[in-house]
C-alpha cells in the first residue's frame, strides 16, 4: 500500500473513531503508529488521566514533556511521582542553550511581562522549538486538550491532521470530556495530580505565567492573566 493510500485509510478510520471512548482512541493510536506516537504531557489533570490509561494499555508507551526550566516546583514533584508510580522513562525536551542565553541576555529573565512579542518569544524558545524537535520524529502525538477548556478549542476533534507540524496526526482522546469526568477518573483510579490543583490552579503552565483563579473565572483565566482570552495560547496547539 502506498503511503498516500495508507494516509487516506487512516483519515477514514479517524473519522469513524470520533465517537469512540478515550481508551479505544488510545488503543487505535498505539496500534496504528506503534513506537512513533507519544503523549505530550505537561502533567496537568488531563495528561495524568491519559498517562494512567496509556500505561495500562502499554507499559512502554512513550511520554515526553517540555521542561521549560520555569515550571512550578509542584510540577517537578509530580514528574517524580509519575516515574515512581508508573515506572515510565520520561523523555525531556529542553530549550536550546544558545537561544535561551541570548533571549535572557537581551530581554532579561522576566521578559514575558514586557509585551506580547516578548512573551511569544519566550514560549517559542522554551516550548515551541523543543516541541517541534520532539514531533519531528513522530507520526502522531497525543494531547489532553478538551473542547470546553477555551474559546480556541471548541472545534477540537479526537483525531486531527496537524498541519502546523508537518501533517502528522494529533490525537485528542479527551476532546469531549468534561472537567468532572477528568476528576472522577483521577479519584476512581488513584491517579497522582499536581498539588497546585488543590489551590485553585485548574490549568498549570510555567510558574511566572500561571496564577490561581477566583470563583466564577474561566478555567484558563490564570494562564497569562494579563492578556486577552483570544491570545491565550502559547503556540503549541495553534493551527
Cell numbers of 31, please? 496500534
Size of the site for ligand SF4 (CB under 6 A): 13
In the complex with ligand SF4, which residue's Cβ is closer, 109 or 167?
Answer: 109
159 binds ligand SF4 (CB under 6 A): no
The helix (H) or strand (E) run that includes residue 92 is strand 91-93
d(CA 12, CA 17): 9
In the complex with ligand SF4, which residue's Cβ is closer, 122 or 142?
Answer: 122
Residues 6+ apart with CB under 8 A from 86: 51, 52, 55, 59
The residue nearest ligand SF4 at its CB is 206
Which residue has cell 490561581?
212
Let me know if 126 is exposed, middle or buried by CB neighbors in 10 A (0-12, 13-18, 19+): buried
One residue of 7, 20, 23, 70 binding ligand SF4 per CB under 6 A: 70
Q: Cβ of residue 209: shortest distance to ligand SF4, in angstroms?
A: 3
d(CA 19, CA 173): 10
Q: Cβ of residue 155: shortest distance to ligand SF4, in angstroms?
A: 24
The helix (H) or strand (E) run that includes residue 41 is none
Q: Is 234 a catalytic residue?
A: yes
Instruction: Specify the 3-state DSSP secondary structure of 4.
Output: helix
d(CA 184, CA 174): 13
Say which of 123, 143, 209, 234 is annotated catalytic: 234
In the complex with ligand SF4, which residue's Cβ is closer, 196 or 234?
Answer: 234
In the complex with ligand SF4, which residue's Cβ is closer, 192 or 205?
Answer: 205
Interface with ligand SF4 in residues 72-131 (CB under 6 A): 112, 119, 122-123, 126-127
**Binding residues for ligand SF4 (CB under 6 A):** 68, 70, 112, 119, 122-123, 126-127, 205-206, 208-209, 234
Residues known to be catalytic: 234
Amino acid at each position: 500500500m502506498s503511503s498516500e493510500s495508507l494516509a487516506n485509510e487512516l483519515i477514514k478510520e479517524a473519522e469513524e473513531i470520533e465517537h469512540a471512548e478515550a481508551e479505544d482512541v488510545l488503543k487505535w493510536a498505539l496500534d496504528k503508529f506503534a513506537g512513533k506516537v507519544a503523549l505530550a504531557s505537561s502533567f496537568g489533570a488531563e495528561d495524568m488521566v491519559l498517562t494512567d490509561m496509556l500505561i495500562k494499555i502499554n507499559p512502554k508507551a512513550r511520554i515526553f514533556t517540555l521542561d521549560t526550566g520555569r515550571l512550578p516546583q509542584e510540577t517537578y514533584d509530580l514528574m517524580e511521582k509519575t516515574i515512581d508510580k508508573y515506572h515510565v522513562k520520561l523523555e525531556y525536551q529542553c530549550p536550546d542553550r544558545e537561544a535561551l542565553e541570548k533571549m535572557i541576555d537581551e530581554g532579561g529573565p522576566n521578559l514575558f511581562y514586557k509585551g506580547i512579542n516578548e512573551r511569544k518569544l519566550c514560549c517559542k524558545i522554551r516550548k515551541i522549538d523543543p516541541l517541534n524537535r520532539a514531533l519531528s520524529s513522530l507520526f502522531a502525538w497525543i494531547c489532553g486538550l478538551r473542547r470546553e477548556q477555551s474559546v480556541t478549542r471548541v472545534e477540537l476533534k479526537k483525531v486531527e491532521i496537524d498541519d502546523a507540524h508537518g501533517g502528522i496526526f494529533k490525537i485528542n482522546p479527551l476532546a469531549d470530556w468534561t472537567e468532572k469526568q477528568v476528576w472522577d477518573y483521577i479519584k476512581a483510579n488513584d491517579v497522582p495530580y499536581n498539588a497546585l490543583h488543590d489551590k485553585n490552579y485548574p490549568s498549570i503552565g510555567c510558574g511566572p505565567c500561571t496564577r490561581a483563579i477566583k470563583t466564577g473565572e474561566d478555567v484558563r483565566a490564570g494562564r497569562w492573566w494579563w492578556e486577552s482570552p483570544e491570545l491565550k495560547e502559547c503556540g503549541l496547539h495553534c493551527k
